[in-house]
Amino acid sequence: MNKPAWFPKALLQSLPLAAAVLAAVLGARLLEANADEPAPLVFVHAAPITQEGAARNLNSMRLVQAPIIDGHLAEWPGIPSIELNRNTAYSFQGRISSLEDLSAVIRSGWDDSYVYFAIEVTDDVVIGNDSTDVWRDDGVELGFDGLHDQYAWGWDDHQYTIVVDGRVTDRGTPATGLQVGIQQVPGGYNIEVAVPVTALSPGVPVSGTVMGFTVGLHDDDDGGNWDAYLIWEGTNTSSSPELFGTLTFTERPEDHIIALEARLIKLERRLQELLAILKQYELVAPLE
């Protein structure tokens, strides 16, 4: 049977439409077949960095009076903060449906002995003590490069993990020297931490000191492994400190004066103690 002269041309013209229909049908069948399978994990770099390659900074404010480390954060008004959520994280993995699902506000302060952190975590489902591994449950990670030398395995480098149930580790082993306070609150939990300065840097800190720093946030909504993981700066909190942000020690002029006065009072007390000891040997008389 002879085909009409118009047949090849009509067939060619209809091929794009037929291909589109076929693709739509196959796509619908694939979606139906995979409807019960979970969506794959995503890894996103979505930090609102204003300068290309510039890491972000958290200012740590000198505290004239040390906070009570109990998880109650009423002592932290007016302290600079950063927000950690799926929109501000340098990287995240898993599913985070909203700010109520997982987010945090982080503040920091310091004095001659400790670096302090107040962390308000918003988490609609709080689970702790569910897994042997601390990083599988709800908790916060603090990554430090104390000397800011971008070397990951020195005495000044730490990955502190604080789980909502109270477990505290440094690179996976029980941590010592930290003071930690945790309070579960409606819609999440609060964490206060005091890290000894001696674990991060030699000597007494001064305003202008800069450390490498990042913070991570784990979310476990249903037991077992974590469901989401946020990192403020970098791709992990235990290594690659060259990708960390920074923690900068700052102070107000009036607080600097108060701190100097406190040091002078401490020196005067030590001098009086020394003079009292010398008096016992009748070397000098005590000051009037």
Q: With beta carbons less than 8 A apart as the criterion, state whether 57 and 246 touch.
A: yes
CATH number for the domain formed by residue range(s) 43-251: 2.60.40.1190
Question: What is residue 99's DSSP assignment?
Answer: T
Secondary structure of the chain in the HEC alphabet? CCCCCCHHHHHHHHHHHHHHHHHHHHHHHHHHHCCCCCCCCCEECCCCCCCCCCCCEEEEEECCCCCCCCCCCCCCCCCCEEEECCCCCCEEEECCCCCCCCEEEEEEEECCCEEEEEEEEECCCCCCCCCCCHHHCCEEEEEEECCCCCCCCCCCEEEEEEECCCCEEECCEECCCCEEEEEEECCEEEEEEEEEHHHCCCCCCCCCCEEEEEEEEEECCCCCCCCEEEECCCCCCCCCHHHCEEEEEECCHHHHHHHHHHHHHHHHHHHHHHHHHHHHCCCCCCCC
Burial of 130 (0-12, 13-18, 19+ CB in 10 A): middle
Q: 23 pLDDT exceeds 50?
A: no
| pTM reported for the whole predicted model | 0.73
Across the range 170-176, mean pLDDT stands at 94
**pLDDT class of 274 with cuts at 50, 70, 90:** confident
Q: 10 pLDDT exceeds 50?
A: no
- pLDDT score of 38: 40
Distance of CA 288 to the CA centre of its chain: 52
* Per-residue pLDDT tens digits for 211-255: 999 999 999 988 888 999 999 999 999 999 999 999 999 998 666
Q: With beta carbons less than 8 A apart as the criterion, state whether 121 and 140 touch.
A: yes
Q: 37 pLDDT exceeds 90?
A: no
Distance of CA 5 to the CA centre of its chain: 72
Q: With beta carbons less than 8 A apart as the criterion, state whether 228 and 95 touch.
A: yes
Three-state SS at 40: coil
Ordered by start, the domain boundaries in the chain are 43-251, 252-288
- pLDDT score of 4: 45
**pLDDT class of 271 with cuts at 50, 70, 90:** confident
- pLDDT score of 265: 74
Q: If you average pLDDT over every residue of the chain, what do you get?
A: 82
Q: With beta carbons less than 8 A apart as the criterion, state whether 164 and 189 touch.
A: yes
Q: In whole angstroms, give the CA distance from residue 220 to residue 99.
A: 15
Q: 17 pLDDT exceeds 60?
A: no
- Provide the percentage of residues in the chain whose pLDDT is more than 70: 75
Three-state SS at 31: helix
* Per-residue pLDDT tens digits for 96-110: 999 999 999 999 999
* Per-residue pLDDT tens digits for 101-137: 999 999 999 999 999 999 999 999 998 887 889 989 9
